Structure 1
Amino acid sequence: MNGAVDLPLGQAELSFTAAGDARVRRSVLPSGVRVLSEQVPGSRSATIGFWVAVGSRDEQRADAAHPATYGSTHFLEHLLFKGTPTRTALDIAISFDAVGGEHNALTAKEYTCYYAKVQDRDLPMAVAVLADMFTSSLLDPVEFESERGVILEELSMAGDDPGDVANERFFDAVLGAHPLGRPIGGSPETIRAATRDGVWEHYRANSRPQDLVVTVAGAVDHDVLLAELDLALAAAGWDPSVAGRPVDRRPVEPAELETGAEITVVSRPTEQVNLLLGVPGLVATDDRRPTMSVLNAIFGSGMSSRLFQQVRERRGLAYSVYSFAPGYSDAGLFGMYAGCAPAKAGTVAALMREELERLAEHGVTADELRRAAGQLAGASALALEDSDTRMSRLGRAELTLGEFADLDEALRRIALVTADDVQRLAGDLVARPFSLVAVGAIDESAFTGAADAVAPSSDVA
C-alpha cells in the first residue's frame, strides 16, 4: 500500500493490502450499508462494530413537528441492549457471556458504535445479535423509565468527578455555542425531559441501511461476513433489493466559533484543582494533523515532554500533567491539563501558556523531532496489536476521514513534519483565544495575576 486509500461513497468494492500484510476490503451494498474488514494474519479473535455517524451534536430542540432529541443518543446506547422481538436483554447478555466475549457501546460527539469482541468461531453470533439489536430494538416503555434512572445515576457519578466536570466545562468554554460543546451524555434536565416517542423517532430516523457502517478487524473472511450480515439484516426485515446510497459525510470546513468564557471556575471542596487551559484546534481532516501529533508529543505527551518536565519534574507543581488535541469534522481543540494544589493553580496555568509560547517563539530541536517520531511510531504499532483499535480505525476512516491510512502511511506523514512546521502551528495556536477551566477549592482571583495566563472574565460557577 502506497499512500492513503480514498473511500468514495459511490464505489461498490475496494480491496488492498495494508501494513503487516493485513487484507482490507470494503463493500458498499446496494442498500447503502457499508462493510469494511481488516483480516489480520495470525489473529484468533475479531472485533466488530455497528456504527452510525450520529452523536450528541446531532440532537435537536423540539419544534412543531418533532419532539426534542437531546440525550437520545445516550439513551439509545442503553436501550439497544434491552431487548428485541426475538431476544430479551438477558438473551443478549448470555450470548456473549457464554462464549467469553465482550460487548458494549459508546456514544461520542459525532458517532455511535455498538461493538463486540469474540473468538473467530463466534463472529457469526456477534453479527446476528448486533444486527438484531441495531435494527429491531423495542425501546420498551417500562425499560425506558428504568434506564432513565440508570442514566441519571451515571450523570450523578460523573458530576461527582471533578475531572469529568472540568472536561465538560472545557469543551463548552472553547467551543461555545457549537453543538460539539454540549455534553455527550446529556444533562439531568434533558434526560428527565426525554420522552420515549422522541428517542424512538431519533432511533428510527438514524438506523436505516444508508446510515449503517459495519467494521470488523482480526480473524475475518470478508465474503463470509457479507453473507452472515445479509442473513441477519434480512431476518430483521431489511430488503436488500431496495436501493440506497450511503449518507453523505459531514462537511469538513472549519466552523466559525464563538468561544465561551475565558475563565470558568467551579467551586468544589477538593484537595486538588483540576485545571484545563486551551484553544480551538484543528479539524480531523486538516493536512496539519500529523504536525499536531508531533507538536503534542513534544509538548505534553510522555514523561520527556516539555510540559511534564517543566511543571512536574523541575518544579514539582503537579502529579498529572499533559496535553491533548482531539479533532472533529468541523472543529477541534488543543488543551493542557494539570491536577494541582489550589495555591499552585495560578502558577501552573501561567507555566502552561508560557511553555506553548516558548515553543511558538523558539521552535523545537532535531532531537525532539526524532523522539516524537519514535514515540508516535511505537505507540501506534503497539495500539494496532489490538483488534479493537483496528476496528475503530476502520470506522473513523469511513465515517469521518474518507480515507484509510495504514501504519506505514501514518509514519510516512509523521516523518515529513519539520521543525518549522511545528513552530508555525504553535504560533497559530497561541494566537487563538485561550479558555481556562478550574474545578476545585479556588476562585477566579487565583488567576488574575498569574502572568496573564488568560484574560479574566466574570464567569464563575
Structure 2
Amino acid sequence: MNGAVALPLDLPELSLTASGDALVRRSVLPSGIRILSERVPGARSSTIGFWVAVGSRDELGADGPVPSRFGSTHFLEHLLFKGTPKRTALDIAVSFDQVGGEHNALTGKEYTCYYAKVQDRDLPMAVDVLADMFTSSLLDPTEFENERGVILEELAMADDDPNDVVGERLFEAVLGDHPLGRPIGGTGDTIRAVSRDAVWEHYLANYRPNDLVVTVAGAVDHDELVARVEASVSAAGWDLSGAARPVERRNGDSVSVRRGSALSITTRPNEQAVVMLGYPGLVATDDRRSSLSVLNAVFGGGMSSRLFQEVREKRGLAYSVYSYAAGYSDAGLFGMYAGCSPKNAAQVSELLLEEFRRLAEGGITGEELQRAKGQLSGSAALSLEDSDTRMSRLGRSEITTGEFADLDEGLRRLEAVTVDDVQQLATELRSRPLSVAAVGALEASTFDGVVHS
C-alpha cells in the first residue's frame, strides 16, 4: 500500500493489503450501509462496531440546537441495550457474557459506536445482537424513566470528579457557543427535561441503513460478514430493496469559533486544584496533524516532555502534567493540564504558558524531533496489536477522514515532519485566544498573570 487510500461514497467495493499483510476490504451496499473489515493474520478474536455519524453536536430541531434535547444522543446509547421485540436487556447481556465477550458503547461529539469483542467463532452472534439493538430498540417508557435515573447518577459521578469538570469547562471556554463546546452527556437539567418522544424522533431520524457503518477487525471473512449483516438487519425489519446513497460526511473546513470565556473557575474546597489552559486547535482532517502529534509529544506527551520535566521533575509542583489535542470536523482544541496544590496554581499555570511560549519562539531541537518520532511510531505500532484499535481506525477513517492510512503511511507522514513545521504550528496556535479553566479552592485573581499576559 502506497499512500492513503480514498474512500469514496459511490465506490461499491474496495480491497487492499495494508502493513503487516492485513487485508482491508470495504463494501458500500445499495441500501447505503457501509461495511469495512481488516483481516489480521493469526488473529483468533474479532472486534466489531456499529457506527452512526451522530454525536452530541447533532441534537437539533428544524431551526437549530434544541436545549431540551441536549444529552439525548447519550441517552439513546444507553437505551439501545434495554431490549428489542426479540431480546430483553438480560438476553443482550447474557449473549456476550456466556461466551466471555465484551460489549459496550460510546457517544462522542460527532459519532456513536456500539461495539463488542468476541472469539472468531462468536462473531456471527455479535453481528446478530448488535444489529437487533441498532435497528429495533423499543425505547420502552418504563426503561426510559429507569435509565433517566441511571444517567443522572452518571452525571453526578462525573461532577464529583474535578478532572471531568475542568475538561468540560475548558471546552466551553475555548469553543463558546459552538455545538462542540457542549458536554456530551448533557446536564442534569436537560436530562430531567428530555422526553421519550424527543429521543424516539432522534432515533428514527438518524438510525437508518444509509447512516450505518459496520467495522470489524481481527479474524474476519469479509464476504461472510457482509452476508450476515444484510441478513441480520433484514430479519430485524429493515427494507434493503431500495437504493440510497450513504449520508454525506461532514464538511471538513475549519470554522471560526468565538471564545466562550477567558477564565472559568469552579470553586470547590478540594485538597488539589486542577488547571487547564487551551487554544482552538486543528480540525481532524488538517494536513498538519502529524506535526501536531510531534508538537504534543515534545511539549507534554510523555515523561521526557518539556512540561513533565519542568513542572514535575525539576520543581516538584505537580504529580500529573501533560498536553493533548482533540480534532473534529470543523474545529479543534489544544490543551494543557496540571494538578497541583491551590497555593501553587498561579505558578504552575504561568509555567505551562511560559513553556509553550518558549516552544513557539525557540522551536524544538533535532534531538527532540527524533525522540518524538520514535515515541509516536512505537506507540502506533503497539496500539495496532489490539483489534479494538484497528476497528476504531476503520470507523474513524470512514466517518471522519474519508481515507484509510495504514501504519506505513502514518509513519511516512510522521517522518516528513520537520523542526520548522512544529515551530510554525506552535506559533499559530499560540496566536489564538487563550482560555483557562480551573477547579479548586481558587479565586479569579490567581490567574491574573496568565489571562492578562
Whether the 8 Å CA contact 2:359–2:423 is kept in 1: the answer is yes
Whether the 8 Å CA contact 1:61–1:67 is kept in 2: the answer is no
Instruction: Report the count of equivalent residues.
Output: 452
Counterpart of 1:388 in structure 2 is 388
Deviation at 1:29, TM superposition (A): 0.2
Deviation at 1:241, TM superposition (A): 1.6
- 1: distance between equivalents of 2:68 and 2:254? 27
Whether the 8 Å CA contact 1:60–1:68 is kept in 2: the answer is no
Counterpart of 1:436 in structure 2 is 436
**Aligned residues: CA RMSD:** 1.2
- 2: distance between equivalents of 1:334 and 1:177? 18
Deviation at 1:342, TM superposition (A): 0.4
Aligned-partner SS, 2:70: coil
Give the partner amino acid of 1:454: V
In the alignment, is residue 284 of structure 1 matched against residue 284 of structure 2?
A: yes
Counterpart of 1:455 in structure 2 is 452
Counterpart of 2:202 in structure 1 is 202
Whether the 8 Å CA contact 1:61–1:70 is kept in 2: the answer is no
Aligned-partner SS, 1:10: coil
Measured at CA, do residues 192 and 161 of structure 1 come closer, stay the same or move farther in structure 2, by a change above 3 Å?
Answer: same
Deviation at 1:447, TM superposition (A): 1.3
Measured at CA, do residues 157 and 222 of structure 1 come closer, stay the same or move farther in structure 2, by a change above 3 Å?
Answer: same
- 2: distance between equivalents of 1:141 and 1:420? 58
Residues 309-362 of structure 1, C-alpha deviations (whole Å, 9 max, x = no match) = 111111111000000011000000110000000011111111111111101111
Gaps of 5+ in 1: 457-461
- 2: distance between equivalents of 1:63 and 1:286? 30
Counterpart of 2:142 in structure 1 is 142
Residues 157-216 of structure 1, C-alpha deviations (whole Å, 9 max, x = no match) = 111111111000000000000000000001111100110000000001000001000000
Aligned-partner SS, 2:282: coil
Counterpart of 1:228 in structure 2 is 228
In the alignment, is residue 330 of structure 1 matched against residue 322 of structure 2?
A: no
Residues 390-417 of structure 1, C-alpha deviations (whole Å, 9 max, x = no match) = 0000000000000000010001000000
Counterpart of 1:80 in structure 2 is 80
Whether the 8 Å CA contact 1:101–1:118 is kept in 2: the answer is yes
- 2: distance between equivalents of 1:30 and 1:239? 11
Q: Percent identity?
A: 71
- 2: distance between equivalents of 1:203 and 1:388? 26
Give the partner amino acid of 1:48: I
Give the partner amino acid of 2:396: R
Measured at CA, do residues 275 and 387 of structure 1 come closer, stay the same or move farther in structure 2, by a change above 3 Å?
Answer: same
Whether the 8 Å CA contact 2:67–2:190 is kept in 1: the answer is no
Counterpart of 2:40 in structure 1 is 40
Counterpart of 2:301 in structure 1 is 301
Deviation at 1:236, TM superposition (A): 1.1
Whether the 8 Å CA contact 2:215–2:391 is kept in 1: the answer is yes
Counterpart of 2:254 in structure 1 is 254
Normalising by structure 1, what TM-score?
0.97
Deviation at 1:255, TM superposition (A): 1.2
Whether the 8 Å CA contact 2:211–2:246 is kept in 1: the answer is yes
Gaps of 5+ in 2: none
Counterpart of 1:374 in structure 2 is 374
Normalising by structure 2, what TM-score?
0.98
- 2: distance between equivalents of 1:277 and 1:44? 44
- 2: distance between equivalents of 1:231 and 1:402? 27
Deviation at 1:134, TM superposition (A): 0.1
Deviates further, 55-64 or 235-244: 55-64
- 2: distance between equivalents of 1:410 and 1:326? 18
- 2: distance between equivalents of 1:321 and 1:62? 43
Residues 243-296 of structure 1, C-alpha deviations (whole Å, 9 max, x = no match) = 110000001111110011101111011011110001000000001000000000
- 2: distance between equivalents of 1:186 and 1:220? 37
- Over 2 Å off, 4+ runs: 60-64, 66-69
Deviation at 1:72, TM superposition (A): 1.1
Give the partner amino acid of 2:18: A
Deviation at 1:60, TM superposition (A): 2.2
